[in-house]
Amino acid sequence: MKHRGKAAKAGSRMILASVLVFLLAAGALNYVLKGGGVLLGLLAGLWVFFVVFVINFFRDPEAVVPSDPKAIVSPAHGTVDVIDETEEPVFLGGRCRRISIFLSVVDVHVQQAPVAGKVSLVRHTPGQYLNALKAESALHNENVLVGIESSEAAGEKVALRLIAGLIARRILPWVRPGDATGRGERISLIQFGSRVDLYLPLACRVTAVLGQKVRGGETIVAERA
């Protein structure tokens, strides 16, 4: 699948940078304290913990994508905490259904396309970095809106908003307008805790429930009528 391995590369760069920081800090401690065995051991332990965290955070399991032609899959791993009707004026152009998914720091942070189709919009909006645990963070935080013209149903438009959080400070979309994408294909990465809002036409029937744990590219969260 396209974009496989990009999350691992991002994690590897972070680990390599941490090696440099660790060596510089260890060298400074050794120079200042003429040894500092206990502090060096503590520093090494913190570095190992950081590396384990990064490896876990940037994991990118393959999605087992459902074949049901009516299915719309979750764009993210996390917990569904908002299901409502709202306005999405930019891409869907009016009232729509929204499914909001909160991603904790222990969830997978690669996002997948909920439907197959053509990417028509990738729009970045600067903003704040409020706690993504709060659903209203979507109104104020930095975000990227991705619009997809579905090839699975005539005239269908689907959008997802990738939202930065208190810890998440970097959104990395891997698609551009004009790109074709398959259902369940990787399309982006948000580094650390964040939120993803999925916008669907009102004709879709939401099958997800509040509090449900979902897997990106796998869990069916809505169906076409």
Number of domains present in the structure of the chain: 2
**CATH label of the domain that carries residue 152:** 2.70.70.10
Say what the pLDDT of residue 129 is: 67
pLDDT of residue 18: 80
pLDDT at 194 over 80: yes
Burial profile 25-40: b = 16 or more Cβ within 10 angstroms, e = fewer = ebeebeeeeeebeeee
* Other beta carbons less than 10 A from residue 138's beta carbon: 20
Segment among 30-39, 169-178, 188-197 with least mean pLDDT: 30-39
pLDDT at 204 (0 to 100): 98
Q: Which residues contact 217 (CB under 8 A, 6 or more apart)?
A: 63, 64, 65, 73, 74, 75, 112, 113, 183, 184, 185
pLDDT at 23: 80
- Residue 177 counted as domain residue: yes
Across all residues in the chain, what is the average pLDDT?
Answer: 88
pLDDT given for residue 137 in this prediction: 67
Give pLDDT, residue 133. Answer: 62
How many Cα atoms occupy the beta-carbon half-sphere of 140 within 13 Å?
11
Q: Is residue 36 domain-shared with residue 136, that is, in the same domain?
A: no
Give the model confidence (pLDDT) of 131-166 as tens digits.
656 666 667 788 999 999 999 999 999 999 999 876
Regarding whether 151 and 107 lie in a shared domain, the answer is yes
User: Would you call 67 a catalytic residue per the annotation?
Assistant: no
Q: Is residue 63 part of a domain?
A: no
DSSP 63: P
Residue 22 and residue 75 share a domain: no
| Residue 87 within a domain | yes
Q: How far is it, in rounded angstroms, from Cα 202 to Cα 30?
A: 63
Is residue 65 a part of any domain in this protein?
no
Closest CA to 200 of 109, 62, 68, 70: 70
**Can you give the residue range of the structural domain that contains 22?**
6-57
| Candidate from 35-44, 84-93, 176-185 with smallest mean pLDDT | 35-44
Which member of 100, 137, 188, 194 is catalytic?
194
